[in-house]
Amino acid sequence: MRSFKFSRWLDLPCALCALLAGQASAGECIGVVPASAHAFWAQVEAGARQAARETGVDIYFRGPSREGSVAAQLQLIDKIVARGCRALIIAPSGLEIIAKVSELKTRGILTFYIDRDVGGAEVQAVIATDNYKAGQLAGQYLGQALGGKGRVGVIRMSPPVPSTSERQRGFTQAAEAAGLSIAFDQPLGDNPELTFAALREQLPNLEALFTPNGSTSRETLAALLRLKVAGQLVHVGFDAGPLLLDALEAGHLDALVVQQPYAMGYQSVRLAQRALHAPQAEPQRRQVALEAVLVTRENRERPEIEAVLAVPASP
């Protein structure tokens, strides 16, 4: 797998870039506020920057260091607007973003959601994985892997975010429909010691685990390795990256539900750029759903799976 460089700040302010390039005005600066600095968002950035190169807009990309920090996102939004960007792409971490989006509209600034939808009528479009369906993929896989009988533990995000909550809802419904029972369901994500202690206590009661995003998958994998039980129960994780793909190949994970973050970044910038050049008086709120794929050791090298995983890095 290729490595991804997460560059948080554009080298030059948007207005200055416009003057130097001679092609982009302040209205063609697009700000992107991801949810965190995790590798998933570096792939989103790679897609966003590719779309920016193709359309001639400038990108200002900056996100909080940790997932769920809506206060940090609000501060970053203000900084990006101060740079002169007239469109914003946001992965909203809380309901507080709704009021900010409404305020931005009164100032003529267009907003788009990526990865998750917290609501609000002023958003131009939502570009996100079909998270409920993605969770169902994991639940259906576990149902087949366990033969329709078994106890499953779910390691949830803390604090919760809409995207992972939808994955958990889809997973739970599909797993229970397949005959499985949810024996353990707690918010332990991003807390290594809490995850380790809880798994040490709960593992004797479980046949399988589901982790609904990259950080919970990595933390759970680390705890299972510390406990020397990785690969001894069926574990379905979420998202990719070298560490998780290596764990899949080693048999420490059984499957990964993988999104299309590059496409998410690319499509969001293309939509934002088109909206800047052809604004509508009353824009229709659009839903752009991206499909997730289930990756296993058996299908890992299929061309359609490789096409999702082999995302080019942004220079």
CATH numbers and ranges of domains, the chain: 14-129+260-290 (3.40.50.2300), 131-238 (3.40.50.2300)
What is d(CA 155, CA 217) in angstroms, rounded to the nearest whole number?
A: 8
Reported confidence tier of residue 7, pLDDT bands at 50, 70, 90: very low
CA distances, 92 to each of 34, 60, 87, 117, 249 (Å):
8, 17, 15, 7, 33
Q: What is the mean pLDDT of the chain?
A: 87
Q: What is the bridge-based pairing of β-strands 234-238 and 293-295?
A: unpaired
pLDDT tens digits for range 214-261 = 889 999 999 999 999 999 999 999 998 899 999 999 999 999 999 999
Which pLDDT belongs to residue 15? Answer: 37
For residue 189, name the pLDDT band (cuts at 50, 70, 90): low
CA distances to 33, 51, 128, 297 from 211, in Å: 24, 31, 19, 18
Segment 66-121, tens digit of pLDDT: 877 899 999 999 999 999 999 999 999 999 999 999 999 999 999 999 999 999 98
* pLDDT tens, position by position, 245-301: 999 999 999 999 999 999 999 999 999 999 998 766 455 678 899 999 999 999 999
Question: pLDDT confidence of 136, banded at 50, 70, 90?
Answer: very high
Which pair of structure tokens corresponds to residue 34?
Answer: 């991801």
pLDDT at 16 exceeding the cut of 70: no
pLDDT of residue 229: 96
